[in-house]
Structure 1
C-alpha cells in the first residue's frame, strides 16, 4: 500500500506542477507532450492524476503515519547513557575512596 501511495503522490506532484505552469504561463505541459488536451494519452494522464488525488486523501487523514510507529518502537529501546561522554564508573570511584581512607 505504501508503494501505491508514493506513486500517487508523484502523480499528484506532476499534476500540481502542470497546474502551476498553466496558471503562470498558460502552458499545459501534459497537453504539449501528448498531443493536446483531447488526445487519448493526455486524457489517461489527467485521469491518473485525478485518481491519485483521491488516493492521497488517505495521506491527508492519516494522523501521523510512519512517524507515530517509529516513536512507539524507539520508546522500547531507551538509551540511558550520558550525552557527552562515558558513564561515570561508581564502582571504581568507591574502591578509590576505600583505599584512600583505610
Structure 2
C-alpha cells in the first residue's frame, strides 16, 4: 500500500513537472509573440510615417505641377507679343543693315 501511494505521488509529481514545463514553454512562446508584436507595431509605425511622407510629397508635386501649368499658361499668352517684338527687332535690324550698306556704298 505504501508503494502504491508513493507511485501515485511520483505520477502526480511527473504530471506537475510536465505542467510546469508546459507553462514554461507557453511563457516562452508568449514572450516570442510579444517580441514579434512589438516588431510588427514598429513596422506599422514606419509604414504610417512613409505613407504620410508620400502624401506630403504627392501634395507638393501636385502644387508644383499646378504652379508650372500656370507659368506655361502665362508664357503661352505672352508668346504672341514676344514673337511680334522679335519680328519688329528683326525688321529694324534689316533696315539698319540696309542703311549701313547704303551708307557704305555711298561713302566708298
Fold conserved (TM > 0.5)?
A: no
TM-score scaled by length of structure 2: 0.31
Higher relative contact order (CA 8 A, sep 6+): 1
CA radius of gyration, larger in:
2
